[in-house]
Amino acid sequence: MPYERYGTELVDPAPLGRPLELYPSGRRVLNRFMKSSMAESLATWDPKVPHLRGVPTDESIELYRRWGEGGWGLILTGNMDISFDSMDDLGDMIITTDCPMSGPRFEKFQELAKAAKAHGSLIIGQLSHPGRQVQARLNPEAISASDVQLEPKMGMSFGKPHPASKAEIDEIVEGFAYAAEYLDKAGFDGIELHAAHGYIIAQFLSPRTNKRTDEYGTQTVENRLRFITDIARAIRKRVSPSFVVGAKLNSVEFQDAGVTPKEAEEVCGGLEQEGFDFVELSGGNYENFGMKWEKDSTQKREAYFLKWAKVVSESLPADSKLKMFLVGGIRTVDAMLEILKTIDGVSFARPAAAEPDLPTKVLSGKVTGTIKPVEGNDDIGGKFAVDLGMAKTQLRLTARGYQTIDFSDEEVMAHFKKDIDVWWDNLVADGDKLEYIRAPEYTGPVVLAK
């Protein structure tokens, strides 16, 4: 049956349509929907010449234009890297301190911002540095809080990390601050620091990867916070007062010595004092994604990290102005409303790939939830390639002006599985050549968007 959805009952979605005031930026968000980050694999790429990488393409812009039409309060971009070779993934957008705030690259960022915010959404660039999670084929030398090696995972091996020197820390802080200023000047409404999922800021925040003994070290949360605090202060000095500054944060890491909700609480308190507008709570990292509905109770509650996010959000003082969003596994309108009782907003990645206009549909009151694919979509850790591939395929279709495909249809899924096998083989064959970077191509029937 086509377009099968999660949820069984139609409920009044009105609370999801309420605007939200951000502080200290003073910006107003249309409603409670956040489109979470998804690395698009659509920016320019050159295997050999680094400075030719990371420019938004016409396809990138078309994708954000479509999200801009979809009724999102906040639209977060995929990872934007601050280095040409320490990047999250091939085809990410990139801004380094060598990129001038004028000229062809800058103009593409301007175009993307304009397209995304044409209907009142706020467009927020997610700034990211992989640290020890850099793929070894991109850069065998990784930088991190300490020298804790990330073991091979998902067919990838990772650079050998060394502890960042003070000079390297300053350079990365400057990279984040420059990129924020660049985006401000290009018409973006704000940035989100990627401080979750094991990226470099999370490496400093987590006692598992931060073994330092200096002022950035493990002895106290305050010390582990210093890296993100330095970044936030450097950013605030360079952007306009109405520029939104947020962070994606793990509420929990499912590992020995990983971040606990208690520590996440302290981190949120610290971020509020530093003048962050919002925190998007997630969880897990490359070593343990934690993105699955493990127990019956979690399945009912849906959102993977709600339990921990509630603990963190309730720990903030009653007069706290820090806004909280929750991401991961939110699928029924019922659950979205339940979450709003304790958290300010709901954030979506895979459902936003499947339906660029998800908020408009939910707010119409005519749907019970997001589209329920035949498989995947509930367990990014277990079926990573399929799940990620499904979402990336949808992004690619939207970016090329097509309607997304219906993964709740068995025929579509069966066809796609053949395509993803071809994609995987090509990826493996590419090895270290770094030439094969785009998302899986769906070869079944597709329809042009109007």
> What phi and psi, each to the nearest 5 degrees, are found at residue 210?
-105, 100
Beta bridge partners of 194: 248
Smaller CB separation from ligand FMN, 212 or 350: 350
Smaller CB separation from ligand FMN, 239 or 391: 391
Smaller CB separation from ligand FMN, 202 or 217: 202
Smaller CB separation from ligand FMN, 235 or 327: 327
Alpha carbons 92 and 84: distance in angstroms, whole number:
10
| Cβ within 8 Å of residue 49, ≥6 positions away | none
| Cβ within 8 Å of residue 113, ≥6 positions away | 123, 183, 186, 187, 188, 189
Alpha carbons 258 and 158: distance in angstroms, whole number:
20
- Smallest gap from Cβ 200 to ligand FMN, in A, equals 13
Alpha carbons 71 and 23: distance in angstroms, whole number:
22
- Smallest gap from Cβ 317 to ligand FMN, in A, equals 27
Smaller CB separation from ligand FMN, 210 or 393: 393
Smaller CB separation from ligand FMN, 243 or 348: 348
- Smallest gap from Cβ 215 to ligand FMN, in A, equals 27
Smaller CB separation from ligand FMN, 105 or 197: 197
Alpha carbons 161 and 165: distance in angstroms, whole number:
12
| Cβ within 8 Å of residue 341, ≥6 positions away | none
Count the residues in the chain.
450
- Smallest gap from Cβ 291 to ligand FMN, in A, equals 6
Please answer whether residues 259 and 288 qualify as being in contact, where contact means their C-beta atoms are separated by less than 8 angstroms.
no
- Smallest gap from Cβ 351 to ligand FMN, in A, equals 6
Please answer whether residues 200 and 129 qualify as being in contact, where contact means their C-beta atoms are separated by less than 8 angstroms.
yes
- Smallest gap from Cβ 319 to ligand FMN, in A, equals 29
| Cβ within 8 Å of residue 296, ≥6 positions away | none
Smaller CB separation from ligand FMN, 13 or 163: 13
Residue type for position 60: S
- Smallest gap from Cβ 45 to ligand FMN, in A, equals 16
Angle at Cα 72 formed by Cα 67 and Cα 74, nearest 5°?
105
Collect contacts of 364-367 with beta carbons under 8 A, ≥24 apart: 365/10, 365/12, 365/13, 366/10, 367/5, 367/7, 367/10, 367/333
DSSP conformational letter for 379: B
- Smallest gap from Cβ 51 to ligand FMN, in A, equals 22
- Smallest gap from Cβ 159 to ligand FMN, in A, equals 18
- Smallest gap from Cβ 248 to ligand FMN, in A, equals 5
Smaller CB separation from ligand FMN, 200 or 388: 388
Assign residue 121 a region (left: φ > 0; alpha: ψ between -120 and 50; beta: otherwise): beta
Q: For residue 346, give the H/E element and its range.
A: strand 345-348
| Cβ within 8 Å of residue 317, ≥6 positions away | none
- List interacting residues with ligand FMN (CB under 6 A): 36-39, 78-79, 126, 194, 197, 248, 282, 291, 327-329, 348-351, 380, 388, 391-392
Smaller CB separation from ligand FMN, 54 or 217: 54
